Structure 1
Amino acid sequence: MLKNSSPKTTMYITRRVIRFLKFSVALTLLLFLPNCSSIYTAKIPHQSADIPEKYFLKEFPFYKQEQYHCGPAALHMVYLWQKKKVNYQQIIADTFNTKLKGSLQRSLVENIRKNGMIPYTIDNYQQLTTEIAAGNPVIVLQNLGLELIPRWHYAVVIGYDSVNGTVTLHSGAQKNHVVGWKVFSRTWIRAHNWGMVAVPVTAIPASVNLSLAYKQEYLNEIYGFSRNGHFNLSLTAYNTALKKWPDNQTAIIGKADSLYNLKKIDEAIDTLKKAIENHSGSAVIYNNLAHILMEKAGNDKMQLQQAHTYAQKALALGNKKQDKNCPAYKQTLQEIKKRLRIK
């Protein structure tokens, strides 16, 4: 008891101490709840009607992580599942940040792309369960702490049970770790619902079918191969996409660009000419066709005239639609005119 303090002051201080202790206990529980609480059932929300109520990836490989290496370990397990031979020490070298004592999401994304697979990110429960049901494990980022005191952790979701409200993960040192949906959801939401699947260039993520926006995100990821100069991979991936969506303009343009960069000029030209039949209003297709024909033509005036016609069409369509790419279309036309000595 404090000296020279009145009973009222003592009671006030005591109440403050009690409140502080209650807060400390509550904070401790919040910090350790995801690790200590295994089952806390709740129905999994927004699940597609055409997938099973429960699904589990049998015989999914487990690799026990070393301290701070949850990211590399998650990638390693996914590569093993996909039968992709990737050296684990190289994964660590590529993705682990010694200063941060962890791995950034973009390093995992780039590592998957580096190893010839498509990294496809997800951000909701429907995508998560759809991918699992299709046989695609999902790497997820969790915050096992609080917003102000985060404890970041990567795990691999390999199963779900909407009847009992649980998910199954390979996480850290725990194999087939069953977690209640509410507990998992809480930790996943605190990491902004970041998740990722890795699929071969000959496959398409299952959740792409859920939305046009998801399809476009998938096609954007393919372009990552082209951006890094891996045109054989981008060509295979675009061909895979075109088997499913034969008239998709993004995939057609991407395929032609890959062929062009692989020096398969005639195939690139044929791809774009065929595309005009179904995309006669596409300024981009006309412009790209004009550009490739110009490069192929050299000093051949007949081919340059054909390129000139396509370039004029591209600019006309671009101006009509107020296309932001009009400066590029105009530049293509000017280059062709210069070769033809047209003012």
Structure 2
Amino acid sequence: MLWRSGAILISLLVLAGCASTSSLRDGMPEEPPAVEEIAGVPFHPDETLYCGPASLATVLGWSGVDTTPEELIPSLHVPERSGSLQSELVAQARHQGRLAYVLRPRTEAVLAELEAGHPVVVLQNLGLAIAPRWHYAVLVGLDPETDEFILRSGPHERHRTAVNTFLRTWNRGERWALVVVEPGRVPASADPGRYMEAAHALEATGQQEAAEQAWQAGISRWPLSPQMAVALANLHFSRGELEEAETHLKQALDRGAASGAVYNNLAWILAEQGQWSSALDMAERAVAKGGPHRNQFQQTLDTLREQAGDRAAND
């Protein structure tokens, strides 16, 4: 069914590139922002190999999920690796109904999250490139007076480390950083492409209510994004909520967030409800928009014209 091809359009539009960085302090302003230490971040001391579960439990607890490292260990710890994979931390956060957003590998992205009051899980290599010692910790603040980051790290509730020292260990960890937020909140440093990937992944885990909240928050942040509107409408369509899906796409048009995909998918929704004249009008507008998926839009128009003709003949 061509509505499903509309969902494919989304996946073609959400991929976002990652730019690496060469300077150790790239993204650190000359005058560091006065980032206060984030209040209310739980602390789970860890002196074992379970820094991954401890760090994830920390940010999950901050986001409102009541859990402990012990509860997370079975799903996160990989014995043969003596630790946890980044992908498993992300997957478990989504399983808990939270939006897991991997930051761009730049210092300013981390600073933006800290300024917004979002603790950040970071992966450090406390060893050397040839002899790595991987470690997860949670950034909870920056002291500009001493030029130190503050972390929940291992057995230390307020581990202070010089900015340059932290950035050096974070660089060796390939600058991986993760923010975990309730789905109605958008990470401060989020860009539309990465955010859509995170929201789609949340939906794919079966967390439909959380995904709906994430899409609505995304639309509030980027009201002119047609992709966000199509994604939210697609979720409603998958649940058989045709009127809701129609409403969201029409609201996108009213906001000026029009695209061929919006018109194309709205055409199918209207056709499903027997509104053939309006459906054909939307399909024609999708074709007029053109773009790389014009052939799919034309196929929608041709199919709906044929179906509308068959209905008229049978009436």
| Whole-angstrom CA distance in 2 between matches of 1:114 and 1:310 | 37
Question: 2:283 maps to what in 1?
Answer: 311
Question: 1:124 maps to what in 2?
Answer: 106
Question: 2:273 maps to what in 1?
Answer: 296
8 Å CA contact 1:68–1:102 kept in 2: the answer is: yes
| Whole-angstrom CA distance in 1 between matches of 2:148 and 2:178 | 19
Name the count of aligned residue pairs.
Answer: 286
Shift of 1:56: 1.1
C-alpha distance after superposition, 1:184-212 (max 9, x if no partner): 1110001111111111112121223xxxx
Question: 1:198 maps to what in 2?
Answer: 180
1:328 to 1:77, Cα distance in 2 relative to 1, 3 A: same
1:332 to 1:230, Cα distance in 2 relative to 1, 3 A: farther
1:75 to 1:233, Cα distance in 2 relative to 1, 3 A: same
Shift of 1:245: 3.3
1:207 counterpart SS class: coil
Partner of residue 244 from structure 1, selected from 221, 225, 236: 221
User: Which runs of 4 or more aligned residues in structure 1 lie more than 6 Å from their structure 2 counterparts after TM superposition?
Assistant: 48-51
Question: Which runs of structure 2 are paired with 1:125-140 in the superposition (5 Å)?
Answer: 125-140=107-122
1:175 to 1:147, Cα distance in 2 relative to 1, 3 A: same
Shift of 1:244: 3.4
Shift of 1:280: 7.4
Shift of 1:74: 0.2
8 Å CA contact 2:44–2:69 kept in 1: the answer is: no
Shift of 1:296: 2.7
Partner of residue 75 from structure 2, selected from 88, 94, 97: 94
1:260 to 1:51, Cα distance in 2 relative to 1, 3 A: farther
Q: Which amino acid aligns with 1:233?
A: A
1:106 correspondence with 2:87:
yes
| Whole-angstrom CA distance in 1 between matches of 2:226 and 2:173 | 34
Q: Scaled by the length of structure 1, what TM-score is found?
A: 0.75
Question: 1:80 maps to what in 2?
Answer: 61
Query: Quick one: percent identity of the two aligned structures?
Result: 30
Q: Which amino acid aligns with 1:149?
A: A
| Whole-angstrom CA distance in 1 between matches of 2:297 and 2:27 | 44
1:145 correspondence with 2:113:
no
Shift of 1:84: 1.0
8 Å CA contact 2:192–2:222 kept in 1: the answer is: no
1:54 to 1:234, Cα distance in 2 relative to 1, 3 A: closer
| Whole-angstrom CA distance in 2 between matches of 1:252 and 1:236 | 12
C-alpha distance after superposition, 1:38-94 (max 9, x if no partner): xxxxx9663469984242124532112252211111001112222312354442222
Question: 1:336 maps to what in 2?
Answer: 304
Question: Which runs of structure 2 are paired with 1:1-343 in the superposition (5 Å)?
Answer: 46-47=27-28, 52-65=33-46, 67-86=48-67, 88-122=69-103, 123-208=105-190, 214-279=191-256, 282-297=259-274, 303-318=275-290, 321=291, 323=292, 325-341=293-309
8 Å CA contact 1:51–1:130 kept in 2: the answer is: no
Question: 1:26 maps to what in 2?
Answer: none
* Unmatched tracts of structure 2, length 5 or more: 1-23, 311-315
Shift of 1:328: 3.3
RMSD between aligned alpha carbons?
Answer: 2.5
| Whole-angstrom CA distance in 1 between matches of 2:85 and 2:257 | 43
1:274 to 1:57, Cα distance in 2 relative to 1, 3 A: closer
Q: Which amino acid aligns with 1:253?
A: V
C-alpha distance after superposition, 1:95-143 (max 9, x if no partner): 2212222111111111111111111122222121221122211100011
1:160 counterpart SS class: strand
Shift of 1:233: 1.6
Shift of 1:171: 1.1
Question: 2:12 maps to what in 1?
Answer: none
| Whole-angstrom CA distance in 2 between matches of 1:186 and 1:85 | 33
C-alpha distance after superposition, 1:160-203 (max 9, x if no partner): 12232111111112221111111111100011111111111121
Q: Which amino acid aligns with 2:186?
A: I
8 Å CA contact 2:260–2:285 kept in 1: the answer is: yes
More RCO (CA 8 Å, sep 6+): 2
1:309 to 1:112, Cα distance in 2 relative to 1, 3 A: same
1:275 to 1:238, Cα distance in 2 relative to 1, 3 A: same
2:240 counterpart SS class: coil
Shift of 1:247: 2.9
Shift of 1:279: 4.1
Query: Rg bigger for which structure?
Result: 1
Q: Which amino acid aligns with 1:156?
A: V
